[in-house]
Amino acid sequence: MNLIMLNEVLIFSGLGVIAGLLAGMFGIGGGLIIVPVLIGTFINLGFDESIIVHLSIGTAISCIIFTGLASANAHRKKKSIDFNHLKPVASGIILGALAGALFAVQIEGIFLKITIAIFVLLVGIQILFDIKIYSKRITPNKPKSVFAGSVIGFLSSMLGIGGGTFSVPYFRASGLKLTTSIGTSAACGIPIAVFGTLGYIIAGIKITELPNLSLGYVYLPALLGISITSVFAAKYGADLAHYFSQTTLKRLMAMWFFIISIYMILI
């Protein structure tokens, strides 16, 4: 490992600590935190502007592989994953996540960045006002679940997130209790991350503007640094959350998303 790569790994390790703390503190996946931070970091590193947004999303979703495995395993131990609901949704996710990545790289980075900024803003509003986004009760069957998984995988891969924003409401509407919905959603994050990452790697193999040490649209120093530290930092973020009331946490979380949304529009 040369000195430049070592320095970058140290930088991204620091970012992983921040992402892990915030993710653990606010109880959300790291993608909504990692993508905006990576965009700013890659700009400062002088990477080609045409690939920065796609590289940030591809790298962020690859980081979710490791955090997703840790999270899903923890929920499995607590028996909060409903595998009967998971299997058909996960089969749809495989195709959707791969297609979402291949579709995202066809969109101009500026438009994709604004789309993510708007999405982050909407999530902030939903959290601040505690808007319930799950629909009326549905009766899932295999075709419905596969289709839902395809949509969840597609949108999550395109935005660089683990999909909980979409999958938890779906499982809640399917009749699962909240803890089981969260656990099953955490398990969905694994195929989203794996096949989303695969799509970003395939899409970026022949892109000459990508920096050295990239595997397609996945920047390896960032993947290494963020993954190592974010998993451990998330635990301390969760501990920190207990020092605040739920109302304070929601306000802090919404404020964070509002700031990130404005930041992404301006950079």
- How many structural domains are present in the chain? 1
Integer angstrom CA distances of residue 26 from 144, 250, 257: 31, 8, 11
Alpha-helical regions (H) of 3-82: 3-26, 31-44, 52-77
Integer angstrom CA distances of residue 228 from 45, 67, 216: 21, 9, 21
Kindly state the tokens that stand for 26.
Answer: 């606010």
DSSP states of 68-81 as a string? HHHHHHHHHHTT--
Beta strands in the chain (DSSP E): 214-215, 218-219
Spatial separation of the C-alpha atoms in residues 188 and 85, rounded to whole Å? 10
Q: How many helices (H) and strands (E) does the chain have?
A: 10, 2
Q: Is 201 exposed, middle or buried (0-12, 13-18, 19+ CB in 10 A)?
A: middle
Q: Is residue 133 part of a domain?
A: yes
Phi/psi at 162 (5° precision): -80, -10
Q: Is residue 6 part of a domain?
A: no
Q: What range defines the domain where residue 81 resides?
A: 11-266
**Locate tokens 């700031």: which residue?**
259
Q: Is residue 104 part of a domain?
A: yes
Beta strands in 150-240 (DSSP E): 214-215, 218-219
Spatial separation of the C-alpha atoms in residues 17 and 27, rounded to whole Å? 15
Q: Is residue 191 part of a domain?
A: yes
Q: Is residue 5 part of a domain?
A: no
Q: Is residue 2 part of a domain?
A: no
Cβ-proximal residues to 115 (8 Å cutoff; 6+ apart), any chain: 107, 159
Task: Going residue by residue through the chain, which has 267 residues, state the pLDDT in tens, using 9 for 90 and above.
Answer: 566 667 777 888 888 888 777 766 665 666 777 888 888 889 888 899 999 999 999 999 998 888 778 778 877 888 888 899 999 999 999 999 999 999 999 998 888 889 888 988 888 888 788 776 655 677 778 889 999 999 999 999 998 888 877 888 888 888 888 788 888 888 898 999 999 999 999 999 989 999 988 999 999 989 988 888 887 887 777 677 667 776 787 788 788 788 888 888 887
Q: Is residue 21 part of a domain?
A: yes
Partners of 218 in the beta sheet?
215
Question: What predicted TM-score, i.e. pTM, was given to this entire model?
Answer: 0.86
